[in-house]
Amino acid sequence: MSNKVIFLDIDGVLVHTGMREPGSMRIEKWDNNCVVRLGRICKVTGAKIVVHSSWARIYKPNELQQMFKDAGLLEHLHPDFAAVGIRDGNPGEKIRSIKFWLSQHPEVSKYIILEDDLIASVKDEPLVWIISGWSKGGLQKRDAEVAIALLS
Ligand SMILES: [Mg+2]
């Protein structure tokens, strides 16, 4: 098992407003460009994905697994792939969920957090802030390079 982990936010990283179907409010489709970039980070570094997004609370584990399978990312999903607290709505809770997950996995030697919201409380954390985020296209090539550098 890999000792490197990527804590993945989904909204604003794999999903963004550019994926909105005309006339629909919901955006459920992952941007394949972002998916490919995430897959590359995993391939190059050997890191496994743990979801710290509300998607891990909204969807059942098997539903989420199916999404990663459909995206061609299943091989990169950590066996214990959900890190969500009971109230993951605020940034502090997200970090608490990540910290709790890490406390259950002392084998992890390196990790990063892919996140599009600027979270003040994570200034000492290995955060890859996805500046393009929700409105401008999610995970970009430059973000992937930063992620690879932090995990190498
Ligand atoms: Mg987000």
In order of their start, the domains of the chain are 4-151 (3.40.50)
CA 81/CA 48 separation, integer angstroms: 9
Of 112, 97, 105, 103, the closest CA to residue 45 belongs to 112
Q: Quote the CA–CA distance of 13 and 96 in Å, as a whole number.
A: 20
The tally of CA atoms less than 13 A away on the side-chain side of residue 139 is: 28
Q: How many Å lie between the centroid of ligand 1 and the Cα of residue 130?
A: 9
Q: What pTM was computed for the model?
A: 0.89
What pLDDT digit, counting tens, does each position of 90-108 carry? 556 788 888 889 999 999 9
- Stretch 101-130: mean pLDDT, rounded? 84
CA 44 to ligand 1 centroid distance, Å: 24
Alpha carbon distance 39, 114 (integer Å): 13
Nearest 10 degrees: Cα torsion 61, 78, 100, 131: -90
What is the reported pLDDT for 64? 94
Q: How far is the CA of 125 from the centre of ligand 1 (A)?
A: 17
Which whole number is the average pLDDT over 58-73?
94
Of the pLDDT bands very low, low, confident and very high (cuts 50, 70, 90), residue 7 is very high
